[in-house]
Amino acid sequence: MVLLIYTVISGFLIPIPDLANNSVLEQTIRNLFFHVPMWFAMIIVLFISLVYSIKYTSKQRIEDDMMAAECANVGILLGILGASTGAVWAKFTWGQFWPNDPKLNGAAIAVMMYFAYGILRNGIEDPQKKAKVSAIYNIFSFPIFIVLILILPKINDSLHPGNGGNPGFNKYDLDSNMRMVFYPAVIGWSLLAWWIVTLNYRIKLISHKKHNNYEQIKTATISTIDSI
Amino acid sequence: MNKLKLLLLALLIASKTQAQSVDDSFRQDGKILVVITVLLIILIGLFIYMIRTDRKITKIEKNEN
């Protein structure tokens, strides 16, 4: 929380480098503290999701699967936020809401892929089977996500800095002032994302436990009735 | 739902008639409005998500009784 408050305040107030002032970016360079950390946080939560899916495949604990699912959900949220904020930023710097850019399209496909993960989960009734299938899907989709969002745009020409021969943002944020805000921003947004994940996980856990108790009571009652 | 549609329609009309001036004002002051919009989108997105979470909790609470 403190990190995010610091990010918003100093994100708006610190002086920006002259270089940005002279390019199409102008003050929008400040979006570095809001739009960019969305994607960083997304990569981090989806990586955690991958870790929990691997954990599930080795230990078969249903809780690990629930955690992986919640991480993927928040990843989708961050992806949508990142894409919509990016669209606004693109409109006023590159001139279009959705320029035909490999990074944008890659990110869109990646978000779709995680949507498909959610749909896949909803489609399978049996919890163990659901967990197993979706864990495997998740383990395969993470590398594809990384390729789509980080590697392909580097190979093709992208409007994004650091891709396809464009200079990286280093040119701008070598300015140590901006680094001082950017790193806390990434950590702050990521921690916020992680907090949302844990809240949702706890909700899931409670309803799961209650459901289980209910099932146990039901089966116990049925067996007592049977024995009578 | 109807209210929402009306609001959207109003926004659409407003954006059609004032598109040029809105566009201009976004390009003023070193495009600072773009940054504010970006931050607002993030906040609204998080609020919507939190409201959904709130509803989920309410559902669980109701099941308790």
pLDDT, tens only, B5-58: 666 666 666 665 555 565 666 666 667 777 788 888 888 888 898 898 888 888
Burial annotation B8-44 (CB, 10 A radius, 16+ → b, else e): eeeeeeeeeeeeeeeeeebeeebbebbbebbbebbee
Give pLDDT tens digits for A76-103.
899 888 888 888 888 777 777 777 777 7
A89 to B38: CB separation less than 8 angstroms, yes or no = yes
Give B61's pLDDT tier (boundaries 50, 70, 90): confident
Measure in Å the smallest separation between the Cα of A152 and chain B Cα atoms: 26
pLDDT number for residue A91: 77
CB A111 within 8 Å of CB A83: yes
Chain B residues lying within 8 Å of A31, measured CB to CB: 34-35, 38
Q: Is A12 on the interface with B (CB under 8 A)?
A: yes
Domain extents in chain A: 2-227
Q: Is the dihedral of CA A177, A178, A184, A188 positive or negative?
A: positive
Q: How far apart are CA A200 and CA A45, in angstroms?
A: 13
CB A57 within 8 Å of CB A135: yes
Interface probe for B, chosen from A7, A81, A195 (most Cβ of B below 10 Å), is A81
Tell me which residues of chain A have a pLDDT lower than 50: 164-167, 173
Burial (CB < 10 A; 0-12, 13-18, 19+), residue A194, is middle
CB A73 within 8 Å of CB B22: no
B60 to A38: CB separation less than 8 angstroms, yes or no = no
Interface probe for A, chosen from B22, B26, B34 (most Cβ of A below 10 Å), is B34
Task: List the single residue in B29, B30, B42 with the smallest CB-CB distance to A81.
Answer: B42
Helix ranges, A94-175 (H): 102-123, 127-146, 152-155, 170-173
